[in-house]
């Protein structure tokens, strides 16, 4: 029996930032409200090559398959078949990564909002509970 293997992602809440990090971030947020020290790799950055292989490769493979030249038809057909089979592992992985990104972004958005709202580190810690 065949199995489909793919990577799963889950967000684990990191330890709370310490008072020194809190102070640095608080000061930078006061001067630049759009400051974000918790930037991570986005969906497109992570899967750019794979997405481009599908966006560019599949139409080219379909054109090759439609050329009525035996060798090119075979190459186009093999590429399309492999691309279709690849989707069985890519789609669940993409869903898992998108879910991870949503959880991560939500946590760090809450953390930054609580830093902005807080008056000191102890108040921030109470908001993060």
Q: Check: CB of residue 21 under 8 Å from CB of residue 111.
A: no
Total structural domains in the chain?
1
pLDDT band with cut points at 50, 70 and 90 for residue 1: low
Residue 4 belongs to a domain: no
Report the percentage of the chain scoring pLDDT > 90: 67
The per-residue pLDDT for range 33-44, each reduced to its tens digit, is 888 898 888 999
Distances (CA, A) of 38 to 10, 48, 76, 108: 17, 21, 43, 7
Residue 93 lies in a domain: yes
Residue 100 included in any domain: yes
Tell me whether residue 11 is in a domain: no
The pTM of the full predicted model, rounded to 2 decimals, is: 0.81
Q: In this structure, is residue 57 part of a structural domain?
A: yes
Residue-number span of the structural domain to which 122 is assigned: 42-127
Q: Does a structural domain hold residue 99?
A: yes
pLDDT tens track for 75-116: 998 998 999 999 998 999 999 999 999 999 999 999 999 999
In a domain, 28, yes or no: no
Residue 26 forms part of a structural domain = no
In the predicted model, is pLDDT for residue 2 greater than 80?
no
């Amino acid at each position: 029996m065949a199995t489909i293997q793919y990577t799963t992602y889950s967000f684990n809440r990191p330890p709370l930032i310490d008072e020194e990090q809190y102070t640095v971030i608080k000061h930078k947020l006061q001067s630049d409200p759009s400051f974000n020290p918790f930037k991570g790799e986005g969906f497109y950055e992570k899967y750019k090559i794979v997405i481009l292989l599908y966006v560019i490769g599949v139409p080219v493979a379909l054109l090759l398959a439609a050329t009525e030249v035996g060798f090119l038809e075979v190459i186009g057909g093999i590429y399309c078949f492999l691309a279709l089979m690849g989707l069985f592992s890519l789609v669940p992985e993409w869903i898992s990564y998108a879910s991870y990104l949503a959880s991560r972004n939500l946590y760090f958005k809450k953390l930054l909002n609580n830093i902005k709202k807080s008056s000191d580190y102890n108040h921030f810690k109470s908001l993060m509970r």
